Structure 1
Amino acid sequence: MKKIYLVCVISIFCGKIMAQSSHVLWYKQPAEFFEESLVLGNGKMGATIFGGVTTDKIYLNDITLWSGEPVNANMSPEAYKNIPDIREALKNEDYKLAEELNKKLQGKNSERYLPLGTMEINFPNSGKATNYRRELDLSNAISKVSYEIDGVTFTREYFVSAPNQIMIIKLTSNKKGTLNFDIKQDSQLQSKVEVKDNVLLLNGRAPINENAGYRVVSEYLEIKERGTRFTTLTKIKNTDGTITISNSTVGIKNATEALIYVSVATSFNGFDKNPASEGVDEKALAEKNLNKAYSKSFNKLKEIHIADYQKFFNRVTLDLGKTTAPDLPTDERLLRYADGKEDKNLEILYFNFGRYLLISSSRTLGVPANLQGLWNPHFFPPWSSNYTMNINLEENYWLAENTNLSELHQPLLSFIKNLSVTGKVTAKTFYGVNEGWAAAHNSDIWAMSNPVGQFGKEDPMWACWPMAGAWLSTHIWEHYIFTQDEKYLKEEGYPLMKGAAEFCLGWLVPDKKGNLITSPSTSPENQYKSTDGFVGATLYGGTADLAMIRECFDKTIKASKVLNIDTDFKKKLEEALSKLHPYQIGKKGNLQEWYFDWEDNDPKHRHQSQLFGLFPGDHISPLKTPDLAEASKKTLEIKGDETTGWSKGWRINLWARLWDGNRAYKMYRELLRYVDPDGKKTENPRRGGGTYPNLFDAHPPFQIDGNFGGTAAVAEMLVQSDENEIRLLPALPDAWEMGSVKGICARGGFEIEMEWSNKVLQKVSVLSKNGGKTKLIFNKKIKEITLKKGEQKVVLW
């Protein structure tokens, strides 16, 4: 098997040759905090490694372990009857009344993503450890720990295999009979630990979290045991020494080498199946995976794991030219970088890490990566570690297509299909729209689609927002336009896009000028200050709503044309699109967020939803709509660059779409700004949006969307595309004056390899996955190419 490794640049520092990596995170000490740990995952099982010397703590997760059970989408069957009153209040410009009435369109809050358990490997070492090293190699998704005690070298190697659905830990010592440890497990959830046939078992159940006023489906109330069951099986394989057991631990004495196999499973069996009565037999599944893996050798398991992982990771390589940065532990590299020093390979490392995280957390159909990806340690995680669909869930997948990980988009695409089922009920009961489907601010593994807010207890500024279906539907088109998979578009994608568009058609109403608007409307998590000083969120005709509807209609029209179907429906969309209330440019030159030219209550607010048409949409651009692009730029300048981690990720993409590479790069550097772990006490704490020592995104706290948004933005700086053209190096910063990239994808089913020097394109190679034609654009030079399926063409610039 041929192995391809990313570039390692050799630099000279202080007279020594230093090998500085663009694919290895490493540290001189164990992790004390979660934000210092190293994470592994196979898209379903997650492991968080602390790498301690006397105790190695490992958090375990399963992406299907959530509280709750299938949602009763019909929880509030007459909520829609409040809409005429809200619209009347808005028509009368009584925003205070509209704000109160809008709360009547609220349902239950989401369930939460839960930690499965904690595994501890305890070592009876009493000596002091020296030469400690802890690392994660992104080129093969393997973590290692090594150290010396009293002249003995101890090593550990960890990986989580997707093909074998197992975690493997190999422990060795270089002196015979000196390896001793025992393993114990516990969970924050209701659980029981026991040892049976030399296997350590942890069995438990996730809680049910009912919101006050939420009517549970009666058939579930009849089930005595409710909630998702889970199990963990841990077994040791030894070559020497003696396996030891107690009532609650397994271990080994006087060994030289040992393998630990960890298998996890839950009873989750789909968003619409009760996990207690209709669930998977989680014990049988965990046992099957354990036994299957246990019969294989470590080397075979490792070989299969690496081959499976590298088929995704090795598709893209990035080189940003020479670096003079020294080889330092990753936490020290971040601190040095925060002082303004050059470290191009750290910038590549962060890009690679984003792709690594998506490969590791997005391989389970119907269960996309959540706010924490796969790695949540908290019983009550921030924001329930749920699917926040007014930006965060979507941002998780901005890198899926353009960084050549299209298959990993499938967990989100299949989740959208689940949402459309509950969303049909939500459209009717909460919004009075009988066609199509709708989804709101939050969701969970049960594809909950209702607006949240605990039935009127929460602020409409975040709880009352029905546009998730419109936004998510654009991901379906993105998947098609990158892959050209017409079969998917016809059989699955288009019906979902049409359903989202049908809801939007039914939700739009005319304003006083005859233009189509939404009413009621909010702009995600932001508030206006009206001319009379009222601060609120509920209004009509919010720019973000209309931007998302424009994009939804535009892409659905295009899909209809590709498939040559639904001509009458396409005409309806085209007519509605022409009647949408147009964008407005405010007195400050900004793109208005509100129907009126009102002030923002927080002018530097983290959301920039009114710029949706610039990115991730594409109906605003410097070429097509120069006035709106300039107004978008002014909006970003007013907001400033200081914001949360995920918001920085979004703003970098926005600056890239404005073709301002240096501003995008400035914010990319700020995204990599060192942030102290949440629990760390220091005299001068480094807080705010940025990056934790383990390269996790700091909202703060940890949210994975900033990692994904940052990686997507690097690709966006290098290649931008639509159905007809590919722009090469459209937002290349001065700092990246030379470099190369291979494997970046462009719309139309193309894959790009290119080299540049002195910011000038030297050579580009284009591969067509399905055949087709496109225009290559660099600066003002255009080259048209036509390729057959599988054909690759080299173009000298």
Structure 2
Amino acid sequence: MIKPFAYSLKIASVLPVLFSLVSVNLLSSQSAHTLWFDRPAEHFEETLVLGNGKAGASIFGGVATDSIYLNDATLWSGEPVDPYMNPEAYKNLPAIREALKNENYKLADSLQSKLQGSFSQSYMPLGTVYLNFEHKNQPQSYHRQLELEKALSTVTYKVDGVTFTREYFISHADQAMVIRLKSSKKGALNFNIGFNSLLKYELATNGPTLEVNGYAPYHVEPSYRGKMPNPVQFDPNRGTRFTSLFRIKHTDGKLIGTDNTVALKDATEAVVYVSIATSFNGFDKNPATEGLDHKAMASSQLSKASSKPFDALFEAHLKDHQKYFNRVHLDLGKSTAEDLPTDERLKRYAKGEEDKNLEVLYFQYGRYLLISSSRTPNVPANLQGIWNPYIRPPWSSNYTLNINAEENYWLAENANLSEMHQPMLGFIENIAQTGKITAKTFYGAGGWAACHNSDIWAMSNPVGDFGQGGINWANWNMGGTWLSSHLWEHYTFSQDLDFLKNRAYPLLKGAAEFCLEWLVEDKDGNLVTSPGTSPENKFITPDGYQGATLYGSTSDLAMIRECFQQTIAASETLKTDAAFRTQLEKALAKLYPYQVGKKGNLQEWYHDWEDVDPKHRHQSHLYGLYPGHHISPEKTPELADATRTTLNIKGDETTGWSKGWRINLWARLLDGNRAYKQYRELLRYVAPDGVRASYEKGGGTYPNLFDAHPPFQIDGNFGGAAAVVEMLVQSTLQEIRLLPALPDVWANGSVEGLKARGNFEVAITWNNKVPTQVKIHSVTGGSTVLKHGTKQKKLTLKPNETVEFNW
């Protein structure tokens, strides 16, 4: 039975907030929306995370001491990048191309090292706030949970017969974290607030408020560079500044302040307000000399939030959060799984047991994480979303543009969270500005380009520290080409012509201009890239050389194909730039075609070479199948078969984010059972392992449902959630496919609120893998063709028109 597209906000908002505490004991079995544990977290990967799209918190829920890691999306090391760092790098191109023309790949590799610049900067941990409680004995009946539909975390336990309750949320509406502490016995609540940080900071107390002021490093060396002298560099006159304020508001008891803590004694109830602000003022503004007034912003936020009672703050928070979260409902059928803590639930599932609601929970957790980490203009979710405790985090917790940053946004449009795509779309506008200089100085081309890594400063240059980086990753230059696809995707889902005309098309054109000038002819007159690489992979030439630099990389050409096709479509839609469109059409026809190798695989390299690692985690040359659109079983069956063979050669064992990508690829190949097999593997339990990187162990899921690359990378969460949609609905601007890759085990179910291209909202109920009821809502009006198997139905709807029918 199809339910309404969104749950009623009215009903939710009038319920007393205390009801959330009652639900601790009334949780339905195998909850599809709640994570819960019967003990505090010991590791970061067991914490329950909250976020308002800018501020983030990772809550341990300890009894004697509750540690809460704090983050802010705009707190990074560094300062605006110098895009002219290697102004004559492009002069090395003729020699590289000559080496490739002579098939001298070793020389080409060595020369490519001259096309490198600085490394990116790192996402910083703001610090840890400690709530220290005076409990003399061990707790009983401990329970902590995170309710996704409320974005509310709670902790309850008993000590000496007294029940203690904590509720935590971070409000986007009021830009503050709010924590309510209660005891069931009058005067039994005793605690103090402390703070510590890996950054430079000073503490002060002012009545009920603890004030922290500090600053981030102006430079941090990436953690993967290992031990280096002075890897974290501070200067009191450089770097992003931050302020954190913690205020206690109480109804009884006595406040006591020291130099570095504020305490409350003999109370029954209290609310702690947390306000965070930084001086970040844009990618091109020095945060120390041109920064925002972080102290004034933090103070204003705190004053406004603390003037409101807890219930009013929570009601506004709930209304804001549920506006997005409640758009999508998924039911995969009846589950008989046991009701267990989330970590035990994962372990049981890893043994092959059924838990359909865990599969729903993981999907909805992905949507929850995107809402929680991507609401800051021009600052997208990074490799860890917004949750990072390390001063030299894995891979700098930056924007890795050869898959990871883009994978973070695969679910934004189809899972009905288009607003959360905006930070990435704004970031693309930033990086295109530095990218114009990168295109010119590194590649001697027009348009704009971006490469392997970026950061909050919109760094676009190839990394590697001017020759120290591995060619197979540092020298990849198709980041802008890939990023530009997000602009067209947003248009296809939103049908926002103003966006396409005024924001997207100029950037699409710039990305296409770079590609157009970057292409050269091979010996047969085909257009290829030279030099090129395939992200992080290496080839073996017939004489045994293991290299990275070549001409005509399949992944390069796949991304350029997609870029040209999308720019052409945008030009046609806007009825503009006919001459440039003709240029693109001619170049598109001359691109070196896909090649099928002797094994039946889609070749990754221009020649039919072997891979150094045949099971490599990257599958960039399959880009045209997903997230691209120009390979499909229907349009290009031979190429689709070759991608299938490639995936079979690679096998199913891979890292977390790679698994997320492969599930989407199998869904596009319409193989629901293979996609589901890998979805189960994505949810394989991985014990907390800190920052230890391991490609060999394969990916999975940590106790708190964070993706285990390992270590933690949030892209696997987002890629896995996007893949669930891809199994249920696939679309183009002309058609919507219902249940295109539905696995056998999801034979009965329903989904509401998914988005399809053309700005349609889709609801389906199905039995025995066949749709029974369908509801389509058109936001902007338009025509589409619904398809399932051999059956199809054409629809033409007016703006805001809804049709519902039996299939």
TM-score (norm 1): 0.96
* 1:417 alignment partner in structure 2: 429
For 1:196, the equivalent position in structure 2 comes to: 206
2:487 to 454, 469, 476: 476
Q: Tell me the residue number matched to 1:2.
A: 10
Q: 2:728 aligns with which of 698, 718, 743?
A: 718
3-state DSSP of counterpart to 2:505: helix
Q: How does 1:93-172 map to 2 (within 5 A)?
A: 93-172=103-182
For 1:275 and 1:591, the matched residues in 2 are separated by 47
Which letter maps to 1:490? K
* Letter matched to residue 94 of structure 2: P
Structure 2 partner of 1:215: none
Question: What residue in structure 1 maps to residue 257 of structure 2?
Answer: 245
- What is the rounded CA distance, in whole Å, between the counterparts of 1:679 and 1:35 in structure 2? 8
In structure 2, the partner of 1:298 is 310
For the pair 1:654 / 2:654, whether they are aligned, the reply is no
Contact 1:160/1:167 (<8 A) preserved: yes
Separation (CA, whole Å) in 2 of partners of 1:4 and 1:499: 47
1:562 correspondence with 2:573: yes
Give the partner amino acid of 1:79: A
SS at 1:2 equivalent: helix
1:384-533 equivalence runs, <5 A: 384-433=396-445, 435-533=446-544
Paired residue type of 2:489: E
Residue of structure 2 in register with 1:614 after alignment? 625
Kept in 1: contact 2:202–2:213 (CA 8 A) = yes
Post-superposition offset of 1:196: 2.2
Deviations 1:349-408 (A, max 9, x none): 000000000000000011000000000010100000000000000000000000000011
Say whether 1:81 aligns with 2:56: no
The offset of 1:124, in angstroms, is: 1.4
> Shift of the alpha carbon at 1:679?
4.9
In the alignment, structure 1 residue 259 sits paired with structure 2 residue 271: yes
CA contact (8 A) 1:60 1:116 kept: yes
Take 1:66 and 1:574, find their aligned partners in 2: how far apart are those partners?
42
Alignment partner of 1:369 is 2:377: no
**Whole-angstrom distance in 2 between the partners of 1:795 and 1:706:** 36
**Residue type of the partner of 2:279?**
S
SS of alignment partner, residue 85 of structure 2? coil
| Residues 1:706 and 2:716 aligned together | yes
Match of 2:46 in 1: 36
User: In 1, Cα distance between the equivalents of 2:37 and 2:11?
Assistant: 25
2-structure distance, mates of 1:454, 1:404:
40
Partner of 1:539: 550
**Structure 1 partner of 2:684:** 673
C-alpha distance in 1 between matches for 2:269 and 2:340: 30
Decide which of 616, 625, 636 is 1:605's aligned counterpart.
616
For the 8 Å contact 1:186–1:193, the answer to whether it is kept is no
Write out per-residue CA displacement over residues 183-228 of structure 1, whole angstroms, 9 at most, x where no aligned residue. 100110111111124310111111111789xxxxxxxx9x971110
Distance in 1, matches of 2:691 and 2:405, equals 28
RMSD of aligned Cα (Å): 1.6
Asked if the contact 2:220–2:392 (Cα under 8 Å) also holds between the matched residues in 1, the reply is no
Aligned equivalents of 2:643 and 2:12: distance in 1? 41
**1:20 is aligned to 2:40:** no
Deviations 1:718-760 (A, max 9, x none): 0000010000000000000000000000001100011000111
SS at match of 1:105: coil
Tell me the secondary structure at the aligned position of residue 787 of structure 2. Answer: strand
Q: Distance in 1 between matches of 2:27 and 2:58?
A: 32
Q: Residues 94-127 of structure 1, C-alpha deviation per residue, up to 9 Å, x if partnerless?
A: 0000000000000000000000010011111011
- The 2-side partners of 1:552 and 1:3 are apart by 46
Determine the C-alpha separation between the residues in 2 that align with 1:2 and 1:672. 35
1:20 and 1:88 mapped to 2: Cα distance? 62
2:285 to 245, 261, 273: 273
Partner SS state of residue 264, structure 1: strand
Identify the residue that residue 773 of structure 2 maps to in structure 1: 763
- Within 1, Cα distance between the matches of 2:467 and 2:501? 40
CA distance in 2, matches of 1:125, 1:391: 48
Counterpart contact for 1:4–1:314, Cα < 8 Å: no
Q: Which amino acid aligns with 1:561?
A: E
CA–CA distance in 1 between the matches of 2:414 and 2:292?
35
Amino acid aligned to 2:201: S
Query: What is the match of residue 226 of structure 2?
Result: none
SS in 2 for 1:552: helix
* 8 Å Cα contact 2:383/2:405 also seen in 1: yes
Q: Which amino acid aligns with 1:377?
A: P
Residue 286 of structure 1 deviates from its aligned partner by: 0.1
**Within 1, Cα distance between the matches of 2:597 and 2:548?**
19
SS at match of 1:154: strand
Q: Amino acid of the residue matched to residue 743 of structure 2?
A: P
- Aligned AA for 1:499? G
Cα contact 2:393–2:691 (8 A) shared by 1: no
Deviation at 1:20, TM superposition (A): 2.5
SS, match of residue 104 in structure 1: coil
* Structure-2 change in CA distance of 1:578 and 1:687 (3 Å): closer
Separation in 1, partners of 2:504, 2:601: 35
Say if 1:385 and 1:320 are closer, same or farther in 2 by CA, change over 3 A: same
Inter-partner Cα distance in structure 1 for 2:586 and 2:168: 57
Amino acid at match of 1:148: K
| Secondary structure in 2 matching 1:565 | coil
Q: Give the TM-score normalised by structure 2.
A: 0.95
One-letter amino acid of the structure 1 residue matched with residue 291 of structure 2: G
1:675–1:688 contact (8 Å) kept in structure 2: no
Q: Residues 525-548 of structure 1: CA distance to partner in whole angstroms, max 9, x if unpaired? A: 000011100001110100000000
- The residue aligned with 2:5 is none
2: CA distance, partners of 1:687 / 1:82: 40
Q: Which SS does the other structure have where 2:449 is aligned?
A: coil
Residues 1:357 and 2:365 aligned together? no
Name the amino acid aligned to 2:155: V
Deviation at 1:307, TM superposition (A): 0.2
SS in 1 for 2:50: strand
Residues 18 and 326, structure 1, Cα contact 8 Å, conserved in 2: no
1:704 maps to a residue whose letter is I
Question: Offset of 1:76 from its aligned partner?
Answer: 0.7
Q: Are the aligned partners of 1:770 and 1:788 in contact in 2 as well (CA < 8 Å)?
A: yes
Question: Corresponding residue for 1:314?
Answer: 326
- Tell me the secondary structure at the aligned position of residue 736 of structure 2: strand
1:327 pairs, out of 325, 331, 339, with 339
Do the aligned partners of residues 517 and 680 (structure 1) sit closer, same or farther apart at CA in structure 2, a change above 3 Å counting? closer
Could you say which residue in structure 1 is the equivalent of 2:600? 589
Alpha carbons 1:108, 1:211 under 8 Å: kept: no
Residue 798 of structure 2 is matched in structure 1 by 788
* Residue 680 of structure 1, CA deviation: 11
- Contact 2:250-2:270 at 8 Å conserved across structures: yes
- Where structure 1 has 5 or more consecutive residues not aligned to the other structure, the ranges are 6-15, 213-220
| Aligned counterparts, 1:734-773, within 5 A | 734-773=744-783
